[in-house]
Amino acid sequence: MSEIAKAVGQRIRNYRTKAGLSQEKLAEMSSCHPTYIGQLERGEKNATIESIEKIATALNLPMSKLFEQLGGQNDGSRNIPLECYEFLSAKTPDEQEQLFKILLEMDKYRSK
């Protein structure tokens, strides 16, 4: 599947877990099948615009949130801040807190 489908799927998963929803609950709220939600999150299926709209509405998000900054940099370089955000968004709140503390400690050590 395309990198865009994988990125959108990962974002759906990130926002779903952040909202504390199971795939089944999101499927119910968006009138999609739970298997379809799983396939989207894994990047195995291309979502339709209609499905994206239903899922975004269920997650209480504007559709644009699922597509921000997709397509990478035009010069071929990596967007490290965006990659960090995507990485952290996929973690639980407790994991996010721990990773943030680690980064702060690393920054303190580097400053010495």
Cβ-count burial 28-38 (b if 16+ within 10 Å, e if not)? ebbebeeebbb
Domain boundaries, the chain: 3-111
This prediction has a pTM of 0.70
E-assigned strand segments in the chain: none
Q: What is the CATH number of domain 3-111?
A: 1.10.260.40
Tokens of 74: 């035009």
> For 14-27, how does the pLDDT look when each residue is reduced to its tens digit (9 = 90+)?
899 889 999 999 99
Contact assessment for residue 88 and residue 99, using Cβ atoms and an 8 Å cutoff: yes
Query: Which strand (E) or helix (H) includes residue 68?
Result: none
> For 63-106, how does the pLDDT look when each residue is reduced to its tens digit (9 = 90+)?
988 888 776 555 667 778 778 887 887 788 888 899 999 999 99
